[in-house]
Structure 1
Amino acid sequence: MWNFDNKHGGTSRANLERAYRLAGLLVEALSMASSEITLNNIEQKILHDAIKSAENVQLYLEQASTGERSSEWFAAEAIALKGQLARLTTRMRIGPKEAKFLEKPNTKISTEDKSLTIIRQDLREMGVEDSEHSRYFIQIAQQVLEEIESITRYSEFSAVRSTIVRTIKPKSEHKQVVLSVLNYFGRIVEQKYKDKNIVVKTEQKDDEITFVIEMDAGDKGEINDALYQYGQVVLEEQDPSKLLPSMVQALELKHKLDMAKMELKHTTELLHTERYGYRNRIEFLEDEVSWLKKAIGDSLTLNNDLQAMLSKISTSKTSLSVQEALKFVIRRAFDGIEETDRNSIFEKLVDIQKSEPGVLEKLKNISETVFTHTTSSLLSNWITTVLKSLPE
């Protein structure tokens, strides 16, 4: 393991300055990883966000050392960065060889005058080929951040909390089912993140239900991922076993959703029979179940970035079919698209252009500043092809 001397404590100006110098290595390691390592689109986005957080940590540490800003500023960014790096290492799944090198107890790096050049030399002495160095930079960045935490103890004085908020407006007869499905995410949090400080709650006001998750800032990315996966399970686009590793827990979730659908059918059937008799009862029940499943699923899977992007592209006059097609394309783009996604996305782009010319041009312009380079390039090319084949 990369070790650092630990002869410090508190958050004095000297310690803040020392942490600032370490933050320089943090930024350098992540930037080098970004330029050298091959990642998928989702991992690229997480790493891009991590580099931005690391740059902010460095800036705010410098300002904290001069008294220009309070220490809470860099603490918030450091906590967010800690979560981003945890997500990266989980996704990258480093192999036993990398772990063996990183856990060497006699490997030391001086906290002064350090650079990636020195680290590269150490890696070579450990027998690591130059072409493999970038695989270690994320791990090294984590340990540099741990050193910053030990110097500043930012986790002790920072009470930075973050929230995820979703809203849904169900019909009055659907409220109890919606509440039941939303509240079950609290059970999933209890199963997957029992050691984390996470609060899940629902609030009702008039005909609107607000779903709120509170967590430490560094855990927001991981919880957002879990919430998205839960929405995919509700939409029946993902198996519960991918969200919950335990077979028993996955089966419990499946039974819960089956019971929710059954409750919805019973309530809807009684109301429909009372109002209209048995006419078109089966079709009505199927429509109601499909509508509610989609309403809940979308409320969970549409993150704030996606909702903001939709609001910039669509208007109150945009048809429901076009909005659904846009959601599909944007959600896939946020996850990261590849050439193999062409057919499914191209079909949606054609539908959008046929229904509402002008929308694709907005999507193309905005995508260049939001998505990763690979995703925005592919999406832009596909949109250009559609615009040429189906002019306004």
Structure 2
Amino acid sequence: MRVVAAMSGGVDSAVAAARMLDAGHEVVGVHLALSRSAATLRESARGCCTLEDAGDARRVADMLGIPFYVWDLADRFQRDVMDDFVAEYAAGRTPNPCLRCNEKIKFSALLDKALALGFDAVATGHYAQIVDGPAGRELHRAVDAAKDQSYVLGVLTAEQLAHAFFPLGDTTKPMVREEAAARGFYVAKKPDSYDICFIPDGDTRGWLTKRLGEQPGEILDADGSVVGHHEGAYGFTIGQRKGLGLDRSAMDGQARYVVGIDRAANTVTIGTADLLGVDEIVGMRALWCGPVPTGPSRLGAQVRAHGEEVPATVEADGARVRVVLDRRIRGVAPGQSVVLYDGTRVVGSATIETAGRARHTEPAS
């Protein structure tokens, strides 16, 4: 097969490209330029897509003896990931930019361009597995549970999976680093990058403030009384505990969490932990990695990249899905994604529209 290996400049994508070459494929390395003004050096372990990263990817490609190109997708990344990120927070929701990047950039823009140029597939350094099943290729969890990235790949369709390779799914991260060192790759000890790549200092609230400006409003307790003020409701997310700027001793001393965000009124409501538990999720924009579940289905539901999977009853209705959890979980925010599993197989995902309480269940964990 003719395969585009997406090479970020990190150790994972380097080993993934090498393994595709070892498997006998015709491999071309491609680095995605996603920043309109890429920095020369990484500002921290969080950042990526710098000129340094592009150089690291090129050095690995040279060692492998494969062609290497840089594809400029900065405008597409700005529109589909960064602008979407701002718009979602401005609407009071909490998006996951990694899922959006996989959906819109790596397995839409990149894959579409690769197929248009006559390539057969795209390979990435994600930790997940593709298994041939009775209905076609299936997406499964990685062997390394600590590095499993199947959650952020839950936006892929069956058609996209048919043209995807994840060569690291059967390997642990320490083994990948050992392999990179054995191959002589300079990136063998390079630190991992972390969310969110376009906010390298990790100050999401500050980054949003520069784009949305200060929007002062009130912080309310669960009874509606004003207990504080904020500079922008977009700087908060459901379940947040730190950074509220409140004096708990002026209340009852109990910890407070964000339990509601009203963007129309520009208010943030806080409450005690018991108010956070939900057991019903309604999702929109459902995307299925294979056959759509029919009727009530018993599946596992996960709402964070490394969160716990919770047993649930799932009903799909077109692009919408209703997920009733066996027990309550905390900190579920509109805009996040719920990814559904059948064992280790990823069934699909949906963007959370609402979360609440369907009935009495076990207390939230």
Does the pair score TM above 0.5?
A: no
Bigger Rg, which one: 1
The interval holding the TM-score normalised by the smaller chain is under 0.3
TM value normalised by structure 1:
0.23
